[in-house]
């Protein structure tokens, strides 16, 4: 199976890499043991270990002492314990953020949105639709509704390169003090599937976010549809000593979005 003229460890690492990239080995799947690779390629364990070390250096696999080698998910972690915007999330993930504005105009706010924004039913709100990109690849689609006052403040800025948070805080000294989140599952309709380059009906992660400024005033309500092959959330909590059923909630330490920048 191995060819002459090319270092054996390099051929083995190339072979395993190709299988990982082809999806033959899934994320967190255990690879064959060193002994199995030794028998398969008819090489020494030193050669196999060198090949695996190459893949570990490339962050394609990780190794656990006594357990073996596993496929790494190749996704980058960043802290989500604080209130961040899309640009900040992408920067922490080591990805280049950009956006494509598809719509920015006043519309009649749907009644549920009007209630959330604390404006009268039938009132106008500014609707902003954006395709969000990481390293030039679709990650999410946002629909954002703002009360007209805040919508007018941002309309003359480059919303493909700037964020609402950044504009309000930098240009108008309007602080974004807190946000409320709700995460749920959704399926892509024809429009979302086209924008996110997915199949209709594909699973999406819907992040509903309401952001406030001083005095509990809503700045905007946003629905962000994430490609589920581009992001997952990981939660880290601590258990209180002596905790019992029905006691106070367990403290939340970290709420981490994990992005995959390899998907096309």
- Burial of residue 139, with CB atoms counted within 10 A of its CB: 0-12 exposed, 13-18 middle, 19 or more buried: buried
Angstrom distance (rounded) from CA 12 to CA 29: 18
CATH 1.20.120.640 for domain 76-260: no
Domain ranges of the chain: 8-73, 76-260
Residue for token digits 């952001």?
211
Angstrom distance (rounded) from CA 130 to CA 59: 32
Tokens of 4: 């002459």
**pTM for the structure as a whole:** 0.63
Distances (CA, A) of 70 to 81, 111, 188, 196, 224: 28, 50, 32, 30, 32
Spans in the chain with pLDDT lower than 50? 76-81, 253, 263-264
Question: What is the pLDDT at residue 59?
Answer: 79
Question: What is the pLDDT at residue 6?
Answer: 86
The radius of gyration computed from the CA coordinates of the chain, to the nearest angstrom, equals 24
Question: What is the pLDDT at residue 79?
Answer: 40
CATH 1.10.10.10 for domain 8-73: yes
Start-end of H helices in 59-135? 86-92, 111-117
Question: What is the pLDDT at residue 246?
Answer: 52
Question: What is the pLDDT at residue 2?
Answer: 75
Start-end of H helices in 125-174? 148-154, 164-172
């Amino acid at each position: 199976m191995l060819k002459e003229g090319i270092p054996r460890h390099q051929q083995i690492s190339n072979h395993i890499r190709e299988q990982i990239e082809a999806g033959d080995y899934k994320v967190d799947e255990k690879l064959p043991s060193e002994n199995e690779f030794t028998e398969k390629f008819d090489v020494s364990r030193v050669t196999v270990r060198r090949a695996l070390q190459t893949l570990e250096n490339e962050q394609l696999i990780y190794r656990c002492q006594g357990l073996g080698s596993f496929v790494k998910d190749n996704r980058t972690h960043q802290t989500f314990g604080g209130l961040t915007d899309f640009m900040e999330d992408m920067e922490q993930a080591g990805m280049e953020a950009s956006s494509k504005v598809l719509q920015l105009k006043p519309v009649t706010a749907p009644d549920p949105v009007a209630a959330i924004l604390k404006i009268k039913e039938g009132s106008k709100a500014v609707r902003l639709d954006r395709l969000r990109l990481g390293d030039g690849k679709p990650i999410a689609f946002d629909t954002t509704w703002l009360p007209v006052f805040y919508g007018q403040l941002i309309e003359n800025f480059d919303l493909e390169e700037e964020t609402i948070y950044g504009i309000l805080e930098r240009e108008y000294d309007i602080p974004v003090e807190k946000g409320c989140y709700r995460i749920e599952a959704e399926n892509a309709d024809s429009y979302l599937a086209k924008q996110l380059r997915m199949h209709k009906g594909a699973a999406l992660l819907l992040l509903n976010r309401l952001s406030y400024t001083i005095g509990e005033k809503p700045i905007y309500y946003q629905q962000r549809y994430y490609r589920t092959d581009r992001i997952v959330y990981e939660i880290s909590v601590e258990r209180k000593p002596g905790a019992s059923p029905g006691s106070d909630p367990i403290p939340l330490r970290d709420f981490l979005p994990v992005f995959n920048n390899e998907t096309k």
